[in-house]
């Protein structure tokens, strides 16, 4: 099973992805977690030890050079477009129980659609992970689905879009659906987060009436507190974990 998580900034993508990853692992699955959001720290949310010391792959200059045969940061030079990546998940992942976690990091964008060695390696890695790994894969992404292309989209079982009760997160969900449709990814569903009561739930159902909802996670101070203390939302004693278990059952 291959799952991608997206949504507007701050809606709770990383919180939900971490709950999802830990829930799947608790159920006996081997999970490959991909932190594809340069500004996020999925490892900390999952509860991986020394999460802040994981080097993002985009910063592994020697590796990028070795695999693409090009100088990182170079533009316009020659380099391999199909670098070897199949050994990387096992070699580079941080681990917690049956969870392997890879942090991709960010690639500075130069001009329009720069094809640089860093982005080529990351793209190859994501393609490999989605098409060839047999674990459950969970990807925590940015507000877009930039890392996915036509080839990978067809192998993604579900794009989970996290929304909160608010106009902008609804607009972003619509935008993400459009981007997904352009690459042929139509398996899309909503996970509502930060729900304070029936009014919030009704608001989202009304404004996203043509989406499928997988679940509604409550607004919970315990999750904020856990975040502040560097504790995984899974270990926060939040009922959100129960919602996620229900969501997993329905996937």
Ligand X SMILES: Nc1ncnc2c1ncn2[C@@H]1O[C@H](COP(=O)(O)OP(=O)(O)OP(=O)(O)O)[C@@H](O)[C@H]1O
In contact, 193 and 38? CB cutoff 8 Å: no
- Site residue total, ligand X (CB under 6 A): 20
- Site residue total, Mg ion (CB under 5 A): 4
* Longest Cα separation, the chain: 57
Please say which residue, 39 or 134, places its beta carbon nearer to ligand X. 39
Write down the H helix ranges in 149-219.
150-153, 167-182, 198-207
Q: In this structure, what token pair is assigned to residue 54?
A: 């994981």
Site for Mg ion in 21-50 (CB under 5 A): 37, 40
From the list 4, 6, 14, 125, which residue makes contact with ligand X (rule: CB under 6 A)? 14
Q: Which does 241 bind (CB under 5 to 8 A by kind): ligand X, Mg ion, none?
A: none
Q: Which does 15 bind (CB under 5 to 8 A by kind): ligand X, Mg ion, none?
A: ligand X
| 29 half-sphere exposure, CB direction, 13 A CA radius | 18
Please say which residue, 89 or 165, places its beta carbon nearer to ligand X. 165
**Strand ranges for the chain from DSSP E:** 2-7, 31-35, 94-96, 99-103, 136-140, 158-163, 188-195, 213-218
Using CB under 6 A as the criterion, what x/- string covers residues 210-249 for binding ligand X?
Answer: -------x-xx--xx--x------------x---------
Q: Which does 116 bind (CB under 5 to 8 A by kind): Mg ion, ligand X, none?
A: none
CA–CA dist 142, 102 (Å, integer): 15
Measured from the Cβ of residue 245, the count of other Cβ atoms closer than 10 Å reads 16
- Positive/negative CA dihedral, 18, 20, 21, 23: positive
From the list 193, 204, 215, 234, which residue makes contact with ligand X (rule: CB under 6 A)? 193
- Is residue 8 part of the contact set for Mg ion (CB under 5 A)? no
CB of 231 to ligand X, least distance (A): 10
Name the site residues for ligand X (rule: CB under 6 A): 7, 9-15, 37, 39-40, 193-194, 217, 219-220, 223-224, 227, 240
| Chain residues in the site for Mg ion (CB under 5 A) | 13-14, 37, 40
């Amino acid at each position: 099973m291959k799952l991608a998580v997206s949504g507007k900034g701050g809606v709770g993508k990383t919180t939900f992805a971490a709950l999802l990853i830990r829930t799947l692992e608790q159920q006996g699955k081997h999970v490959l977690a991909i932190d594809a959001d340069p500004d996020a720290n999925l490892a900390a949310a999952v509860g991986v030890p020394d999460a802040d010391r994981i080097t993002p792959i985009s910063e592994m200059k020697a590796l990028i050079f070795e695999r693409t045969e090009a100088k990182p940061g170079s533009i316009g030079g020659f380099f391999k477009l199909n670098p070897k990546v199949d050994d990387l998940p096992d070699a580079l992942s941080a681990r917690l129980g049956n969870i392997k976690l890879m942090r991709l990091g960010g690639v500075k964008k130069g001009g329009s659609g720069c094809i640089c060695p860093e982005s080529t390696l990351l793209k190859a890695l994501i393609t490999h992970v989605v098409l060839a790994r047999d674990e459950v894969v969970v990807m925590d992404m940015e507000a877009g689905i930039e890392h996915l292309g036509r080839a990978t989209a067809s192998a993604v079982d579900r794009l989970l879009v996290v929304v909160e009760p608010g106009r902008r997160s609804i607009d972003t969900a619509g935008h993400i659906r459009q981007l997904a449709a352009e690459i042929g990814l139509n398996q899309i569903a909503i996970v509502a987060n930060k729900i304070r009561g029936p009014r919030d739930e009704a608001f989202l159902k009304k404004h996203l009436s043509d989406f499928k909802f997988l679940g509604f996670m409550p607004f919970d101070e315990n999750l904020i507190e856990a975040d502040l203390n560097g504790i995984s939302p899974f270990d926060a004693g939040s009922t959100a974990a129960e919602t996620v278990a229900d969501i997993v059952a329905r996937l």
